[in-house]
Chain A
Amino acid sequence: MTITQTRPGEGQGGAVRRPSRLFRNMSAKVAMLPLIFTAVVIFLGGTLWTVLYSFTGSGLLPRLEWVGLEQYERLWGTRKWIVSIQNLALFGFFSLIGTLVIGFILAALLDRKIRGEAVFRSIFLYPFALSFIVTGLVWQWILNPEFGLQSVVRELGWSTFTFDPLNNPSIVMYGLLIAGLWQGTGLIMCIMLAGLRGIDEDIWKAARVDGIGTVKTYVRIIIPMMRPVFVTALVLIAAGIVKLYDLVVAQTSGGPGISSEVPAKYVMNTMFGGQNLGQGFAASTMMLVMVVIILIPWAYLEFGGKKNG
């Protein structure tokens, strides 16, 4: 082995084919075995396995007994799954908009050369360090209708004030939304703030010279310039929303009734609680489909044009 053969970036391009090719750069290949195993066997293999078995009648144990699309037909005929999807759509829509709007507003405010920026930033970001379980349990307590926010406002004199998302099936998802936004907006704020700081100061000067107001400058000039940052944020939020699980388990356990069930929880319940593996496989395959629907247009937009470098 000579130096030239193993220079970075050249490992793949040897001009002369030699029998020892497989063994060249051996240490690196051995060192990468855990990664190769994780990528190929766990991630790729595991995903394909589940998709394959979603077409079988697996119950308590997985078995290769083909039933075609029966699991999917049953899935879409189950009310709990339909409710889960509706909840996820509702939560996803408001969470996406709320996170982007609040994240951007906070970042823009922090970017106004204010005092105490570090303090505000620490306060906005600390919830992100906490787990969804902690988040869910705190908000469960704050939204407790008997002792929490509702009773405090009533004691202040507004005796008809009613906000009991944890007891009221029609607004329970908003209770989860408040907690979800609390936990996740800090991260998006950080990404947005970095984006804002990356914008040339001269743009602001030019806008001022032209007499354009601050808000108008943000809407017309800054936000369009930050398109890549918004796209990144969007993908991060969307991929996180599909995984929504721990928060629901901690805050509402899916209740009242089934009014705050979500797909990830449906998968867990059928797979490990209901001994109904086929349903769990079909439901998790649908989750994968959702992520693919989110990611494909984005990947196409970002890399479609300039692919093949």
Chain B
Amino acid sequence: MADVGILAATKAAQHPIHTLLDGPRGAKPKKKLSRGNIIVYGTLFVFAMYYALPLYVMIVTSLKGMPEVRMGNIFAPPLEVTFQPWVKAWSEACTGINCDGLSRGFWNSVTILIPSVILSVAIASVNGYALSMWKFRGSEVFFTILMIGAFIPYQIMLYPIVILLREAGLYGSLTGLVLVHVAFGMPINTLLFRNYFSSIPEELFKAARVDGAGFWAIFFKIIMPMSLPIFVVALIIQVTGIWNDFLFGVTYISSPDAYPMTVQLNNIVNSVQGVKEYNVNMAATLLTGLVPLAIYFASGKLFVRGIAAGAVKG
């Protein structure tokens, strides 16, 4: 009923995306190369170059030695493949504060990621469940406020959250950052679960009620086991979203030693000290992108489904 706008749109987009993107419909492509076909494939190829190029440049640059980077063409494949830049980026690169490489940022990100993802998926799934099956007076109002909140620029809420965290004694700590990720991941994930649970037949719910099952029993014994795909989608959204976060990491972590990987990467590459080592920088950049890329290529259609919903997050 009172779906706020935002989400009607996503809701509408969610269904067609995963059914319609499964593949082309209709007859198989014609074999002949007509003029129209050449234009279609030609244009697609040119665009594919634009999109693929940065990944290619990252890879080749990260495998070259510095002399070769200085001499040559950024698009040329390495004459002499070296993994030295990767080793250096991982364990020796300097941020201006410490010189133990990106590995520190990687492990920081992992320690931020795991509790944030588990907690936010758990909370969002229960929210979505309550919103779709146990509505109460006002529940839709809270949901509407939450969804509008997803569109408000984060900057406006940053400082009040600093105060809240300080009052709770969590400012600058990892726990504080985890809570912030849980809060800001809530709109999109709650929406995702709410829409999914709404499509579960009501009879199932009624039957369980007749059998005497309560709120939690129905959730754990009936709803959860039949909703695994949507949990995976939420997991993908959260892992990529939190891994790629920069703003919250830089705002709510006070010690540079505890910065997540994105913040550390930026500090390494944009550090003004010393000679710029472009090959190490590209290795570091690629390393930071590796986790979301792996998730993207491994999850395929589920990722598409996730971003269709995750689009709201912006």
Give chain A's interface residues, CB within 8 Å of chain B: 3, 6-9, 11-12, 24-25, 27-29, 31-32, 34-36, 38-47, 49-51, 62, 102, 105-106, 109-115, 117-118, 120-135, 137-142, 144, 147-149, 151-152, 155, 182, 186-187, 190-191, 193-195, 197-198, 201, 214, 228-229, 231-232, 235-236, 239-240, 242-243, 245-246, 249-250, 253, 264, 267-268, 271-272, 277, 280-281, 283-285, 287-288, 290-291, 295, 298-299, 302-303, 309
Contacts and interface: CB of A to CB of B under 8 A. Distances in A.
Interface of B: 1-2, 5-6, 8-10, 12-13, 16-17, 20-21, 23-29, 36, 40-41, 43-44, 47-48, 50-55, 57-58, 61, 69-70, 73-75, 123, 126-127, 129-139, 142-143, 145-146, 148-149, 151-161, 163-164, 182-183, 186, 190, 202, 205-206, 209-210, 214-216, 240, 243-247, 251, 262, 265-266, 269-270, 278, 281-282, 285, 288-289, 292-293, 295-297, 303-304, 307-308, 311-312, 314
User: Which 10 pairs across A and B sit closest by C-beta, in order of nearness?
Assistant: A43-B149, A131-B244, A27-B215, A28-B134, A197-B20, A46-B160, A46-B157, A129-B296, A232-B9, A39-B146
Given A147-B74, A285-B156, A195 B16 contact: yes
Given A134-B285, A232-B12, A250-B269, 16 more contacts: A40-B142, A47-B157, A51-B156, A62-B163, A126-B55, A133-B288, A137-B285, A138-B58, A141-B282, A182-B51, A195-B16, A197-B16, A245-B246, A250-B266, A288-B152, A290-B153
A45 B47 CA distance: 45
A31 B244 CA distance: 29
A47 B269 CA distance: 34
6 contacts: A25-B134, A129-B295, A129-B303, A130-B244, A141-B61, A194-B21
B270 A190 contact: no
A3 B206 contact: yes
B135 A8 contact: yes
Contacts of B210: 3
A120 to B, nearest CB: 6
A273 to B, nearest CB: 11
A125 B48 contact: no
| Residue of B1, B44, B216 with most partner-chain A CB within 10 A | B44
Contacts of B278: 141, 144, 147
Given A147-B69, A302-B8, A142 B53 contact: yes
A128 B307 contact: yes
Contacts of B307: 125, 128, 187, 190
Contacts of A8: 132-135, 202, 205
Contact of B48 (A25, A124, A246): A124
A272 to B, nearest CB: 7
Nearest to B128: A35
A41 to B, nearest CB: 8
Contact of A133 (B53, B155, B246): B246
B127 A32 contact: yes
A113 B74 CA distance: 35
Contact of B136 (A3, A25, A132, A298): A25
B261 to A, nearest CB: 9
Contacts of A147: 69-70, 74, 278
Contact of A11 (B20, B75, B134, B206): B134
A129 B237 CA distance: 10
Contacts of A40: 142, 145
A240 B314 contact: yes
Contacts of B161: 42, 46
Given A28-B130, A194-B308, A288-B153, A139 B160 contact: no
Contact of A267 (B29, B50, B155): B155
